[in-house]
Structure 1
Amino acid sequence: MEIIRCGACNRKLAEAEYIRLSIKCPRCGAINQVKAASREPERHGASVRKGTLHATSPEAATQPAL
């Protein structure tokens, strides 16, 4: 978790995991808006194909699997 502090008076406002956050400081009334620096990278996975997964040709799709 990350500590969120007011940009104007440095008061601790929250400890959070966030993507986007808007919070008003109760001490000075400043509106603080923060965004995550970047998202976690997605895993590299196998591409998704439409239809059967193992068939490469129409003939292969009609043959029974062994």
Structure 2
Amino acid sequence: METVRCGQCNKLLAVGEYTRLQIKCGRCRTLNDLRAPSPTPERQRASSTTGDRHDASERRKEPPGLAGGKEEVGRRDHPAHAG
């Protein structure tokens, strides 16, 4: 919760949350016009200056059996495909 004080005499005017508030001070009669601060946008992380984010060893590798474009036909561990 935020406290709202008069900009002229510093009297406590309100306690709470607001996006926009217009309130008149009962002591000095100053009209206080307040707006909630804008949220700060999230900052983007800086890119790495060392080059590629992933080196060649981290790139996706072909699973065994598919390397070179060859596929195994049938499953040898399944009775229907045992030969």
Q: Same fold (TM over 0.5)?
A: yes
Determine the structure 1 residue equivalent to 2:36. Answer: 36
Q: What TM-score results when the alignment is normalised by the length of structure 1?
A: 0.57
Aligned length: 41
Alignment RMSD (CA, Å): 1.5
Q: What TM-score results when the alignment is normalised by the length of structure 2?
A: 0.46
1:17, CA displacement in angstroms? Answer: 0.3
Separation in structure 1 between the aligned mates of residue 38 and residue 9 of structure 2, nearest angstrom: 26
1:30, CA displacement in angstroms? Answer: 0.1
Separation in structure 2 between the aligned mates of residue 6 and residue 17 of structure 1, nearest angstrom: 16
Structure 1 runs (4+) deviating above 6 angstroms are none
What SS does structure 1 have at the residue aligned with 2:21? strand
1:16, CA displacement in angstroms? Answer: 1.4
